[in-house]
Structure 1
């Protein structure tokens, strides 16, 4: 008699930029699920789909992580990948992918990836990459660079992807244009160059450390910025952020020594900052796309996967993929009929606002998170891992997420524009966070969500994205296993 597979590979759902699936895709997966006998199906969404080779390598890393967690229950679980037109720059330490040395080859590969995934923008992309390669010392080079970035990112108001730039709704003045595209380009290059230098200095001094120890106790120097409710729910933040740039009140344009810095900045450092600015503009474009495909593509497709079977759906999103997975909740609800309930949702280092689930925005007189109240569509656990040592989400994301017209000069950039994957779900009543490995002590059937502090295993080294992708740890695998082992949903 043949032995059951230890862990089932159910292939992939492939969405195009218009959120469309190939015909019969859902029927094919549903049949495969039924034939396999899988009881728990993990639907995994990440952002590293540069090409088939890179996507397959990262998919494989997640599959191995889950297979190890399920090795004691052969045949019970499987994984379905979600492929969508997304990419990561080739220097981002992607799991399962051989690290390319920086240089002309990596630049060519990245340009090919960008042209493939951002169709219609070859002219702007070619010019941007040429400017980054040449590193001209002419002032007009930065003006040209900024112009090309704005052309790259702009979309007409009637474009269906346009409304998906923000993680908030209901504001008096909706905000959808990132400050980094409209502030002086040289100033933004200085800002990102300084942030990268802050990363190097944090590594040299050893000052980067979690704000919560493994046993759950507060660290000796923690910040309690925020309302009392937020402090209880989100827990302590690091007293010394990874960069003081995000501890400032207001925006980059709010004043300070930036003008003088821009005049005296080292040219090589400026172009390093320009490269990071370029990456963050691309990620802004991909965040828009992730929300669009999540709500209009994946969300409506999920009910069909479970039709005529007892399979339980466990949605897992990492980084950009976490935004796609989160917005899939909106697609579940907008289907008209009674929405299917997810058995669990896990957001690993989510690249979206930490107020995405909030019923009100602490710094606004109106508005709420784009996913407000949608945690009710998750029958079982909603896990959100966060790390105070994820440099991308702790520093680069809030700098890039700021919107023009922001006037909240009394709150820090990190608090208003912070990410789920840096300090967890905020603005929602719920339990205090727990450390990774301690979730078994909680009654997950009764909790609306749980913030899980993964700072002890997810941490940046000397490269800004090394920590963001560093989720392939057995402890993360066990967290995903635990999401399926909870017998019922929240009461």
Structure 2
């Protein structure tokens, strides 16, 4: 895609030009001409905004999200007469990467008990998830796995155990790169699978040692309709694992070299914005760039990544979070939103991403949000002393204090503004609250 894909009018007759860069699933750049043009234009711009979408690879929808955020951001500046730097000449980059064609697996609701409509969106999503998962399997296990789950709404415990063994062996055989935790055994995962079949868990119970399902994972299990396990829950969990890994690969291998070039070869102010798994893209890009100077700002919108990612010590394990160095690679405090109204990240993510209890005394048996929760669902953990939680600021009336020595500011999008949540769902991240957060990071005062 050469040349700017879209131009946004600015005051004074200038424009903010949006370039789109497409990457494949391994992070290989598919838009080399556009990238070269971006590099050639760096000498003439003051600010570069790099955006990464999350759970969405339909080109039109990804583009629509970029246009919505950029258009709202520009309009809000005019509305509140927000100042800009004297050399404000922005260039915009939108990353297009293959995540999935549909919403995040749990965002449309579980739909577990009933058979999917053969021609409906649920059926198409199941087909896509099955294709994604089986492409990660070996030639020996692929036919067996397909026979176990294809076209089935319910499978028995023995079949579920074998299906879990196959998928875990292919997609979760190693410790999680974000927090170093070991993967669950297939038997342990059946307990998680049961919880996913029932729609996930909402708020943790009063007893911190009880997270919903107790007992041995091999006995007394039930699922949709009380008669077995729904294969769609396994596919959804496996899709989360694969997309999370892919986001890291796209960020490190694809976007990272461009970020390194921008920070090494120019003096522009670089602003990074990532939504959902797009947060993983921009985090991995900056980490892999090993920049000679910091980026100017980073805004993470409902990030689908472990909440301990910035910690120097993950839950007392002695392991640092995978992105513990990132706050030091950003000039201004990192802003990251979270919301109690983000159902995928508060009800399902920590179940899909939970690790084994083995060798970790005192860890919860199932889906502990404290340990495995999403940054966008529960806010950051393990960053005491350098972070603070702040309610989402009212646009035009309230400001975030970026000069108090904090490195991470968690913006609570669950608070009400004008009678509704500031961030009312996982995908509702282009609104006055998020534009205002971006202005907080980019305005010169």
Instruction: State the TM-score, normalized to the length of structure 1.
Output: 0.70
Name the CA shift for 1:264/1:48 in 2 (closer, same or farther; >3 Å).
closer
Q: Which residue of 2 aligns with 1:325?
A: 282
The CA deviation at 1:327 is 1.8
Where in structure 1 are there 5+ consecutive unaligned residues? 96-101, 156-161, 169-173, 200-240
Match of 1:106 among 121, 126, 129: 121
Match of 1:468 among 426, 429, 435: 426
Report the secondary structure of 1:446's partner residue: coil
Matched, 1:482 2:443: no
Q: Which residue of 2 aligns with 1:434?
A: 390
- Report if the CA contact (8 A) 1:190-1:261 is conserved: no
Match of 1:188 among 192, 201, 209: 192
The CA deviation at 1:486 is 4.3
Q: Which residue of 2 aligns with 1:281?
A: 238
The CA deviation at 1:401 is 1.6
Number of corresponding residues: 407
Q: Which residue of 1 aligns with 2:346?
A: 394
- Report if the CA contact (8 A) 2:400-2:440 is conserved: no
Query: CA offsets per residue over residues 346-365 of structure 1, 9 Å max, x none?
Result: 1111111222111112331x
Name the CA shift for 1:426/1:263 in 2 (closer, same or farther; >3 Å).
closer
Q: Which residue of 1 aligns with 2:334?
A: 382
Match of 1:69 among 71, 76, 82: 76
Paired residues for 1:235-314 under 5 Å: 241=203, 243-244=204-205, 249=209, 255-256=214-215, 261-263=220-222, 266-267=225-226, 270-271=229-230, 274-305=231-262, 310-314=267-271
Query: CA offsets per residue over residues 286-339 of structure 1, 9 Å max, x none?
Result: 111222232233222113236665532110111111112112222121xxxx62
Matched, 1:414 2:427: no
Query: CA offsets per residue over residues 413-447 of structure 1, 9 Å max, x none?
Result: 22122221123222122243111116615144733
Q: Which residue of 2 aligns with 1:238?
A: none
The CA deviation at 1:483 is 0.9
- Report if the CA contact (8 A) 2:107-2:343 is conserved: no
- Give the Cα–Cα distance (whole angstroms) in 1 for the partners of residues 143 and 347 of structure 2: 25
Moved more, 393-402 or 318-327: 393-402
Query: CA offsets per residue over residues 167-197 of structure 1, 9 Å max, x none?
Result: 13xxxxx5453x2x6235653331112344x
Name the CA shift for 1:132/1:116 in 2 (closer, same or farther; >3 Å).
closer
- Report if the CA contact (8 A) 1:354-1:423 is conserved: yes
Match of 2:273 among 290, 304, 316: 316
Name the CA shift for 1:188/1:88 in 2 (closer, same or farther; >3 Å).
farther
- Give the Cα–Cα distance (whole angstroms) in 2 for the partners of residues 378 and 315 of structure 1: 10
The CA deviation at 1:94 is 8.4
- Give the Cα–Cα distance (whole angstroms) in 2 for the partners of residues 256 and 119 of structure 1: 31
- Which of the two has greater helix per residue? 1
Paired residues for 1:95-174 under 5 Å: 103-104=117-118, 105-107=120-122, 109-110=124-125, 113-114=128-129, 120-121=135-136, 124=142, 131=149, 133-136=151-154, 138-143=156-161, 145-147=163-165, 149-150=167-168, 153=171, 165-168=176-179, 174=180
Query: CA offsets per residue over residues 85-114 of structure 1, 9 Å max, x none?
Result: 21263476989xxxxxx7333245435655
Matched, 1:351 2:304: yes
Instruction: State the TM-score, normalized to the length of structure 2.
Output: 0.76
- Give the Cα–Cα distance (whole angstroms) in 2 for the partners of residues 7 and 144 of structure 1: 57
State the superposition RMSD in angstroms. 4.0
- Report if the CA contact (8 A) 2:299-2:335 is conserved: yes
- Report if the CA contact (8 A) 2:161-2:186 is conserved: no
- Report if the CA contact (8 A) 1:68-1:477 is conserved: no
